[in-house]
Structure 1
Amino acid sequence: MSAPYQHMVLDYYVAHLRKKQEARSAELASLRDAHAAKAYQDWIKIAIDEAFAALPADKQPLSLQCTGSLPCDGYRLEKLLFESRPGFFVSALLYVPDEAKSGKVPAVLAPCGHAYVGKASEVYQGFAQRLAKNGFMVLAYDPIHQGERDQYVLMKDEPKEDVPGLCGAHNYMGKQLELCGDNFACWRVHDGQVALSVLLQREEVERRHVGVTGNSGGGTLSHWLWALDRRLTMAAPSCHLTTLLSDLENELPRDVEQYPLGLLAPGLELIDLMLIRAPAPAIMLGQRYDAFERRGFYEAWEEMERFYKLLGAEEKASMYMDCSTHGYSVGNQNAMVEFFCGVVGKEPRKVEVNPLPEEKTWVCPEGKVMLQSGAKSISELTLQKAQELAAERDSWTLEEMAQKLTELLQLPERVGLAHYRIPRPRFYQINGKEQVWARYAVETEEPGVRAIIHKNVRLPEHYYTLDVDKRVCIYLPDIASSWDIEKNSYLQELTEKEEVYAIDLRGLGESRPDDGSNGNEKEFLYDYGMDYMMHGYGLMLKQSYLGRRVFDLLRCIDLLAEEGGQQFILHGRGQGAVIAAFAALLEPRISKVILVDSPASFMEWIEDPLSRWPSAMHLYGVLKYFDLPDIIEALDLRVEVHSNWNSRRRRS
C-alpha cells in the first residue's frame, strides 16, 4: 500500500522551523550596533553550551606517542597516536614545516571529512600539504570510524548485510549513546579538542594564529570546534554551511553528529555557530553544485557579513564559492590558504602536492588502532557507561516512573478532544475473503499531524461512522497497519475474533516518509533515511519523535473514550510494542497490554554494536532511570510478553 500522507511529518517540522526562523530573522534585523550584536552572542552561547553539555571537561591527551616520521619536501611528517579517553585511540599526522626549525609558526587543526581512509585521503593530504608548504604546522587526525580508527575491525564474522557503511555506522554509534543521555557530536568534538591540545603542546606553534579547517563532516567538526574552543583564532569550514531549514525542505539527512541536541529549540541556525566567534577571522567555503545547496549558503553568508559589519570587522569575514560539486576542491583549498596567510601576514604560495600511498600514512603497524594493546571501541565504552548507569539506578514506583517517562518523552499537554475525519475505507483480500477496513484520520497535533486508525468494521452501514464499543482492542504495528493486515498472522487471528483499531501513528504506515513496497522494511529502516532524519530534527527541537508517537496514541485513546470506549486492550508489535508499553505506563484506562516481537531490553541494543532497531526508538537518556524490563515489572499483571525480537529485529 502507498503512504498517502508521506510528507506529513516533514511538513510539520518545516512549519515549525519556518516559524522559528521568521522570529530569528526579525531579531537579527533588529540589531543596530555592536552592543546589540554582543547581546545576541550571549544568547547564542547559552544555547550552544546546553547543546554540547555532554562534553568532558578534560581536553588533555593520554599516552601521546610518536610512532615514526618521514622527511618530505618542505616539511616533516610525524605519526602520532594518543588517547582522547582511556583506551580510545586517535591516529594523527603532524605536518611540521621547515620554517619551524628557525622560529614559531602558525598552526591549523585539520579534522577529516567523511572519507573511509580519513587523513590518508589524497584530497585531505592535499590541503594539509598546501598549508605546510606555506609555513603552517598542521595536525590532521582521523575522526571516529575513519582511517585507522575502524571501530568494527574485530567483527570479521558478522554478516555483510548487518554492517553499516561509514555514515550509517556513525548513526548506529549515535543512537546507542542517546540511550545513555550522551551524543555523538560531543564525542567527535572532544576528539578534536584533545587533538588541538596535542597541536598546542608543540613549542614551535604561534598561539596567536591557530586555525581550523575541514570539509563536509570535517567542515561540521571545524564549525563546532570553532564555536566551542576559544584557543582557535581563525576558521575555514568547507561544504557544510547552509541552513538546517534548507536541508529539511530538501529532504537531506545529515550524520547524527550534525544534529546537536536542542540546537533548534531556541531558534538557532547553523550560521549562529559562526556568529558566536565574531569578530575573529573566518571564511565560509562552498560549492555551487553541492547538496548543501547554495541558497542556504548565501543566506547564511549575508547574515554573517552583516553581523561582522555591526562589530566593525567586515574585513575579517570572507566567503568563497567554487564552481564544483561537494568536496574540498583545489579552488576551495587555495581560497582557505590565501585567507589564513592573509590573517597571519604571509604571502601565499601556489605549491605542488604529492599525496603519499595510504600505507605510508599509517600511524599503527597494520593501520588499525583497535589492534593496539588496551584499545577500546566506542561501542565498548558506551556499554561500560550503560552498565554503570544500571548499577546506579534507583528503584521507582509506577507513579514516579510515569512522571519521569513523561519528561523523557517530552509530551505536550493534551488539550481538548482531537477532531477526526473519515476518509474512504480500504478493501483487502485476506485468505481469499474480502475485508473492509474503515479509516479515521485523527488530528492529534497542529499543524497537520494525523494518526490514521484502521478498523475492520463488521457492518457495511458502519463504513463511514465511528461507532465504539465499551471494549476497545487497539493494535500498533511495527511499521504499517496495512502491511500487517495483509501479511501478519497475529493481527489476522486477532481480527477474526473482534473489531480491531489498528493505528498508524505519525511517521508510520500511511504517513511513513519512505514509501517502500508492501512488507519491505529496508527503506524504512535505512540508517540514513527519512525516519532517521525526522528523529534527528526532533532531537534538535527538543521534541522527542518517539514521544510524539506516544502522544498520538494517547490522543486517539482520549477520542475513543469520548465515543464510548471504557476498557482498552493494547497489542503492540515491534516498534509498536515499545510504544504500547510506554502508553500503558502513562494511561490507567489501558487494562491490558500484549507485547509482540518486543525488544527484551534497551540494554540489548547497546550490547550489540550492530543493533538494527531504528534511531527513533532510542529514547534519549532513558537508561539513566530505567530499562524496558523495569517498565514491564511496574505494569505487573497488566502486561503480557507474547514474543521477543533480538537486537537485529529477529525472533529470539
Structure 2
Amino acid sequence: MIISKYACMTGKLWRPLVLITALLMNSACQGQADELKQALAEPLMPIDQVDAQFKEFVRKRIKKLELPGNSEAWTKEAKQIRRQVLEEVVFKGTPQSWRKMRVNVRKFNTLETTHGYSMERMLIEALPGMWIPAVIYLPDELDGKRVPAVLNVNGHAPEGKAYQDKQYRCIQQAKSGMIAMNLEWLGMGQLRTDGYQHNHLAKLDALGISGLAIFYRAMQCGIDVLEQHDHVDRNSIAVTGLSGGGWQTIMLSSLDTRVKLCVPVAGHSALSQRLDHPGSIGDLEQVPTDLAVYADYTHLNALMVPRPMLMIYNAKDNCCFVASTVKGNTYDPTVPFYEQAGVKQHLAYYENQDPGDHNYGADNRLQLYHFLARHLHPFGERKIEEDVDLQEILTAEQLQIPLPENNEDFDTLAAGFARDLPAATRRTHSQLLEQLHKTLNYPEWSAYAERFTGPRGVGGLVVRYLKVNIGDELSMNVSIIEGSNQASVKTVVLLADSGVVQQTKKIRELIQQGCRVIAIDPLLVGLNKPSTVLYQTNLFIHSVGERTLGLQAAQINAAVEMLRRVLSLGKVGIVAIGPRMSLAARCAVVLSGQHDYGELVTEGELKSFNELISPAASYAAFPEAYCFGLMQHFDMPTIKRLSSK
C-alpha cells in the first residue's frame, strides 16, 4: 500500500513536471524561431532597393512617345498604334462577333419633364447577353434637327448613372440643345454586383480572351446608339467623364474616331506617373495586359490629334491624378503633336482649384460647356451657364431600368468560355513545353551573387545571406540555412506565399531532417515584394508585356542553377507552401528541363485552374496566376504531370 501510495504521489508530481518541461522546451524553440525570424528579416537588399529596381524594370519597358518629322507621319503612325491596341490588347482572343455587334436596343417608357427636355430609358446590348442601362436626355423641339451629342460615362461613384453631378451635366447639355446619354458603368449603379467587379476581367484574360473588351464594348455601345439616333449630328459626338469615366473617355475617344471631341476629367496619366504615385494606378482595366508594349497614355492623348480635347485635373485631388503630378508627364508631351498639326487651339488644359478635390463639380462642368461651345457650337444664342434646379435630380429608383434576369457578367462569361478549354489536349511533351515557355514569356536568365556574407550563427543554425543578381535586372534576397553541428545530406529550396521569414518552423523541421535550406523569395513575394499593393504591382508587369509567373520561375531556376554550380550540389528538392509558390515551383521545374531538381513537395496548391474563375476567386490574392491564356492552353493536371516527369 505504501509503494502504491508513493507511486500515486509520484504520478501526481510527474505530470506537472512533464508539462513544465514541455513548456520550457517550447519556449526555447520559440525563442530560437524568433531569433531565426529576426535574422532572416535582415536581408542584403532592403525594401527601397526592391522598389527602385522594380520601377526601373517597368519604366524602361513602357513604350516611349516620340514626335515624328511631320504631322502626316504621325497620322500614319497613329493608325498603326490604334490598330495594334485594338487587335493586340482590347480585342485579343475575343470572338469576332464582339467587334461586329449590331445596335440592339430595348426601349422603355420615356420620362417627360416640364423643364425643356425628356428622358428616353433603354437597355443597350453591348455583348451577346450583356445589357447596359442608359438614359438619353433629349431637348424639346427637335423636329427635323440634328444636334451635337455627348456620351457621359460613369466613374467609380457607386450611385452610377444616378450620381448627382453626372445628372447635372446631362440635364444641362439637354437644356443647351444637345443630346446627352447617361450610360451605366460596369460595377456601378444597377450593375453593382460581384460579377461586375472590375478585376474580375482577369478571369477572361486567363482564358485567353481580353477582359478589357467587355469594358470597351460597354462604353462603345453608347456611341453606336448615338450615331444612329435620328437627331444626332454624327460629326459632333463628344465623350466626357470623371475618374474611371475619365479613363473611359480617353480610351474610347482615342481608339474610336467617331468621337469628335473629348473631355477626360481626373481619369488618366502616363504610366510612369502611376509608378511614382500608386494612388493613380487604378484597377486592372486601366493598366491592362500588354498595353504599354504598344502605347502609353501619352500615345492615346496624341491619337486625338486633330480632334479637340480638354484635359481637366484637380489641384488637391484626394483620390488620384493630382494636377501637379500629371501635367508635365501627361499633358505637356501632347502639346507638340497638336502644334505640329497646326491645331494647337484644339488642345486645352484646366486645373480646378475650387474645390480642388476629386470632382466634376460646377466649375469643371462650366469648363466643359465652354469647350463644347467653342468647338461644337451647341448653345447658339444661349448663355453658357448651368441652369439646373435640384428638384430635377432624380433618385436611382426613378432612373432604374429593368434588367434581364440572367444578364451576362465577367463571371458568367468566364464560366461559359472555360467549358471548352484547354483548347488542345493531345500535344507532345515538347509542344507543351514550347507553349508554356511562350505563355509565360519565360526569359532565359543567368545569375550571379552580387553580394554575400560569411556564415552567421543563429540559435544553433548557420545562416548565409546572398543578394543574387538575376538577368542583370531583378536582384533578389536569398538565404542559405543549415545546422551548425550536423552535415547536410540533401538540399531543399523553400518557397512560400507568406515569404520565407514566416517559415522558421518549417526551416527547422527541414534541417532536423538533414537538409540544407535555400530560402528564396521570388518577385512579388516576401522580402522581394515591392511596397506597392500586390495586384497593382502585377498589373505593371503584365502591362509591359512580361508575365510575373514566368519571371518568378526564371528567378528560381537561375538562382538554383548558380548555387548548384558554386556549391557543387547535386539535384535539389523543392518545398513550396501555398498556391502561388506551388504553381511557380511547378512552372520552374517544367521550364528548367528538370535537370536541377529532385523531389517537389507542395502544400496548399490549387486542385484545378477552375478555382481561378469561380465567383469567389480573387485576382488580388493570386494575381500572377491570371496570366493571359494560361487556362486556354493548360489545366492543373497537365502542369502537375509535366513537373513530375
Q: Where does residue 128 of structure 2 map in the other structure?
A: 86
Matches within 5 A, 1:98-137: 98-101=140-143, 103-137=145-179
Maintained 8 Å contact 2:174/2:180: yes
Maintained 8 Å contact 1:450/1:506: no
1:113-142 deviations in Å (ceiling 9; x for gaps): 011111111111122122121111111111
Does residue 568 in structure 1 map to residue 572 in structure 2?
yes
Maintained 8 Å contact 2:460/2:484: no
Q: Where does residue 522 of structure 1 map in the other structure?
A: none
Q: Where does residue 346 of structure 2 map in the other structure?
A: 316
Q: Structure 2 residue aligned with 1:414, among 445, 450, 465?
A: 445
In the alignment, the residues of structure 1 paired with residue 374 and residue 610 of structure 2 have an alpha-carbon distance, to the nearest angstrom, of: 52
User: Which residue identity lines up with residue 627 of structure 2 in the other structure?
Assistant: L
Maintained 8 Å contact 2:127/2:217: no
Maintained 8 Å contact 1:283/1:318: yes
In the alignment, the residues of structure 1 paired with residue 549 and residue 631 of structure 2 have an alpha-carbon distance, to the nearest angstrom, of: 15
User: Which residue identity lines up with residue 175 of structure 1 in the other structure?
Assistant: A
Does residue 538 in structure 1 map to residue 554 in structure 2?
no
Q: Which has the larger radius of gyration?
A: 2
User: Which residue identity lines up with residue 130 of structure 1 in the other structure?
Assistant: Q
Shift of 1:299: 3.4
In the alignment, the residues of structure 1 paired with residue 395 and residue 227 of structure 2 have an alpha-carbon distance, to the nearest angstrom, of: 28
Maintained 8 Å contact 2:151/2:223: yes
| 1:73 counterpart SS class | coil
Q: Determine what percentage of the aligned residue pairs are the same residue.
A: 21
Q: Structure 1 residue aligned with 2:358, among 319, 323, 326?
A: 326
Q: Structure 1 residue aligned with 2:289, among 213, 236, 261?
A: 261
In the alignment, the residues of structure 1 paired with residue 193 and residue 606 of structure 2 have an alpha-carbon distance, to the nearest angstrom, of: 25
In the alignment, the residues of structure 1 paired with residue 104 and residue 188 of structure 2 have an alpha-carbon distance, to the nearest angstrom, of: 20
- 1:329 and 1:394, CA in 2 relative to 1: closer, same or farther beyond 3 A? same
1:133-187 deviations in Å (ceiling 9; x for gaps): 111111111111111012338xxxxxxxxxxxx9xx312x022122112333221
Shift of 1:188: 0.7
Shift of 1:330: 1.7
Shift of 1:400: 1.8
Which structure is higher in helix share? 2
- 1:349 and 1:275, CA in 2 relative to 1: closer, same or farther beyond 3 A? same
| 2:291 counterpart SS class | coil
Does residue 493 in structure 1 map to residue 539 in structure 2?
no
Maintained 8 Å contact 1:88/1:378: no
Maintained 8 Å contact 2:530/2:537: no
Q: Where does residue 398 of structure 1 map in the other structure?
A: 429
Matches within 5 A, 1:382-461: 382-390=414-422, 392-415=423-446, 417-423=447-453, 435-447=461-473, 449-459=474-484
User: Which residue identity lines up with residue 556 of structure 1 in the other structure?
Assistant: A
Gaps of 5+ in 2: 1-37
Q: Where does residue 518 of structure 1 map in the other structure?
A: none
In the alignment, the residues of structure 2 paired with residue 402 and residue 289 of structure 1 have an alpha-carbon distance, to the nearest angstrom, of: 51
Q: Where does residue 641 of structure 1 map in the other structure?
A: none
| 1:265 counterpart SS class | helix
| TM-score, reference length from structure 1 | 0.83
Maintained 8 Å contact 2:154/2:241: yes
Q: Where does residue 591 of structure 2 map in the other structure?
A: 586
Does residue 374 in structure 1 map to residue 406 in structure 2?
yes
User: Which residue identity lines up with residue 71 of structure 2 in the other structure?
Assistant: A
Shift of 1:260: 2.7
Maintained 8 Å contact 1:454/1:481: no
In the alignment, the residues of structure 1 paired with residue 313 and residue 457 of structure 2 have an alpha-carbon distance, to the nearest angstrom, of: 51
Q: Where does residue 349 of structure 1 map in the other structure?
A: 384
Q: Where does residue 614 of structure 1 map in the other structure?
A: 622
In the alignment, the residues of structure 2 paired with residue 8 and residue 251 of structure 1 have an alpha-carbon distance, to the nearest angstrom, of: 17
Q: Structure 2 residue aligned with 1:625, among 616, 620, 633?
A: 633
- 1:98 and 1:238, CA in 2 relative to 1: closer, same or farther beyond 3 A? same
Shift of 1:470: 8.1
Q: Where does residue 524 of structure 1 map in the other structure?
A: none
Shift of 1:99: 4.4
When structure 1 is superposed on structure 2, of 567-576 and 287-296 the one drifting more is: 287-296
| TM-score, reference length from structure 2 | 0.84
Shift of 1:425: 6.9
In the alignment, the residues of structure 2 paired with residue 499 and residue 19 of structure 1 have an alpha-carbon distance, to the nearest angstrom, of: 38
In the alignment, the residues of structure 1 paired with residue 174 and residue 460 of structure 2 have an alpha-carbon distance, to the nearest angstrom, of: 73
Maintained 8 Å contact 1:322/1:332: yes
In the alignment, the residues of structure 1 paired with residue 57 and residue 642 of structure 2 have an alpha-carbon distance, to the nearest angstrom, of: 36
Shift of 1:270: 0.7
Does residue 510 in structure 1 map to residue 527 in structure 2?
yes
In the alignment, the residues of structure 2 paired with residue 503 and residue 329 of structure 1 have an alpha-carbon distance, to the nearest angstrom, of: 51
In the alignment, the residues of structure 2 paired with residue 257 and residue 319 of structure 1 have an alpha-carbon distance, to the nearest angstrom, of: 25
Q: Paired residues, what number?
A: 581
Shift of 1:500: 1.4
Shift of 1:214: 0.8
- 1:502 and 1:63, CA in 2 relative to 1: closer, same or farther beyond 3 A? same
User: Which residue identity lines up with residue 218 of structure 1 in the other structure?
Assistant: G
Maintained 8 Å contact 1:397/1:634: no
| 1:264 counterpart SS class | helix
Q: Structure 2 residue aligned with 1:201, among 228, 231, 244?
A: 228
Does residue 359 in structure 1 map to residue 401 in structure 2?
no
- 1:375 and 1:309, CA in 2 relative to 1: closer, same or farther beyond 3 A? same
Shift of 1:499: 1.7
Shift of 1:100: 2.4
User: Which residue identity lines up with residue 347 of structure 2 in the other structure?
Assistant: A
- 1:185 and 1:331, CA in 2 relative to 1: closer, same or farther beyond 3 A? farther
RMSD: 2.5
When structure 1 is superposed on structure 2, of 35-44 and 91-100 the one drifting more is: 35-44
- 1:85 and 1:18, CA in 2 relative to 1: closer, same or farther beyond 3 A? closer
Shift of 1:393: 2.5
- 1:198 and 1:558, CA in 2 relative to 1: closer, same or farther beyond 3 A? same
Maintained 8 Å contact 2:574/2:599: yes
Q: Structure 2 residue aligned with 1:5, among 29, 37, 46?
A: 46
- 1:70 and 1:147, CA in 2 relative to 1: closer, same or farther beyond 3 A? farther
- 1:496 and 1:352, CA in 2 relative to 1: closer, same or farther beyond 3 A? farther
Q: Where does residue 211 of structure 2 map in the other structure?
A: 184
Q: Structure 2 residue aligned with 1:284, among 311, 333, 337?
A: 311
- 1:15 and 1:611, CA in 2 relative to 1: closer, same or farther beyond 3 A? closer
- 1:395 and 1:276, CA in 2 relative to 1: closer, same or farther beyond 3 A? same
Maintained 8 Å contact 1:457/1:499: yes
